[in-house]
């Protein structure tokens, strides 16, 4: 199959998806102009479905404990959910679209829409359905079309905005499930930590283990398991507190499989593992992050990214983490003044 035929088939597929998202016969056009975009009862929102015509879909579902799951796979990022819910609550019309521009804006929304369905608690039919187009030229508004089940789809789009916020909606309408995934790695806000182990493959003498039972009940050990009688407990307690919230930057490492394999063949900078009071262990392997693009390489930093690490998670995903947050975890044993 030559490239021209592939391109034609791709365009046809995109058109079909756009039709299914936007022009389906069951989504009848209302005789009304629908402009009641806001949903005030955000506490009772139970599911949010987001899709685009590139085949990306994200179903965000509220759990009994108040957290949200994405596509029944992972916990969703709290901040992403917060921005969505705040947006629904504060959504308002900035202005109507001038009549002469309505056909063009409708075509624009149909060509590259983000469709969002919002379901209330216990309901199988969406409360409201949104079709988001692109931002206005000044980036202070977003073209959007509203559909209300039982009333149909509005015959006119509007420019909408969030009250009290300067910006536009589309960037928070995330359809890629990976961008929804909760990015916490070491997440112990109550410090329910039993053990922290940090191993430096190239500096074994500076590896250590901390056994913690709360308060000042702390045991510091070297790499061989020898416990120290004297050490700076205050410094160790400050170190333990770092694990209240350690996140990664992104699950997308921007590497090809070959490049990823190359990183994993290098000697790690450190292995970190944390066990909680229930005996559950979370581990991370930290690697230096080199530059893939030769034009980004800086000799003054030894061709190593001065702002980020690669981190291998428990589920064997190589992710990117910010050095600003992770570097304080890579402290040497001598920093605790062991005898």
Best CA proximity match to 251, nearest among 311, 298, 196: 311
Q: Which residue in 35, 40, 39, 84 sits closest to 62, CA to CA? A: 84
Contact 150, 27 (CB under 8 A): no
Q: Residue 207 and residue 236: Cα distance in Å, rounded?
A: 14
C-alpha span between 158 and 164 (Å, rounded)? 18
Tokens describing residue 55: 């085949």
End-to-end Cα distance, the chain: 71
Q: What is the pLDDT along the chain (339 residues), one digit of tens a residue?
A: 565 565 555 555 545 555 555 544 445 554 567 899 999 999 999 999 999 988 999 999 999 999 999 999 999 999 999 999 999 999 999 999 999 999 999 999 998 899 999 999 999 999 999 999 999 988 889 999 999 999 999 989 999 999 988 888 888 999 998 889 999 999 999 999 999 999 999 999 999 999 999 989 999 999 999 999 999 999 999 999 999 999 999 888 888 899 999 999 999 999 999 999 999 999 999 999 976 544 454 554 456 888 899 999 998 999 999 999 999 999 999 999 876
What is the H or E stretch that residue 288 is in?
strand 281-290
DSSP character string of 72-97:
TTEEBPHHHHHHHHHHHHHEEEEEEP
CA distance 325 to 328: 7
What is the β-pairing status of strands 193-199 and 152-153? unpaired
Q: What is the pTM of this model?
A: 0.71
- The alpha carbon torsion through 52, 58, 62, 63 (nearest 10 deg) reads 170
- What's the CA gap between 217 and 237, in Å, rounded? 10
């Amino acid at each position: 199959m030559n490239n021209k035929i592939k391109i034609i088939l791709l365009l046809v597929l995109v058109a079909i998806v756009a039709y299914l998202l936007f022009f389906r016969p069951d989504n009848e056009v209302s005789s009304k102009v629908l402009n009641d975009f806001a949903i005030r009862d955000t506490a009772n929102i139970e599911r949010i479905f987001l899709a685009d015509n590139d085949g990306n879909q994200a179903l965000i579902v509220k759990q009994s404990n108040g957290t949200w799951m994405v596509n029944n796979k992972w916990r969703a990022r709290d901040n992403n959910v917060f921005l969505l819910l705040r947006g629904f609550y504060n959504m308002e019309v900035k202005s109507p679209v001038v009549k002469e521009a309505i056909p063009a804006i409708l075509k624009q929304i149909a060509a590259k829409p983000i469709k969002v369905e919002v379901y209330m608690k216990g309901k199988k039919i969406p409360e409201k359905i949104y079709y988001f187009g692109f931002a206005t030229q000044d980036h202070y508004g977003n073209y959007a079309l509203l559909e209300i089940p039982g009333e149909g789809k509005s015959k006119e789009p509007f420019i909408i905005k969030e009250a009290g916020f300067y910006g536009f909606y589309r960037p928070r309408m995330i359809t890629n499930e990976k961008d929804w995934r909760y990015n916490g790695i070491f997440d112990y806000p109550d410090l329910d930590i039993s053990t922290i182990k940090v191993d430096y493959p190239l500096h074994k003498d500076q590896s250590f283990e901390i056994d913690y039972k709360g308060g000042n009940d702390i045991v510091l050990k070297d790499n061989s398991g020898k416990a120290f009688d004297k050490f700076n407990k205050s410094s160790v307690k400050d170190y333990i507190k770092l694990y209240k919230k350690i996140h990664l930057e992104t699950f997308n490492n921007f590497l090809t499989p070959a490049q990823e394999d190359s990183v994993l063949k290098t000697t790690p900078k450190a292995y970190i593992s944390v066990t909680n009071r229930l005996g559950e262990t979370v581990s991370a392997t930290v690697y230096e992050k080199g530059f893939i693009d030769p034009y980004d390489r800086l000799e003054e930093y030894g061709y190593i990214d001065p702002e980020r690490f690669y981190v291998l998670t428990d589920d064997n995903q190589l992710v990117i983490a910010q050095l600003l947050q992770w570097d304080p975890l890579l402290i040497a044993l001598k920093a605790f003044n062991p005898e």
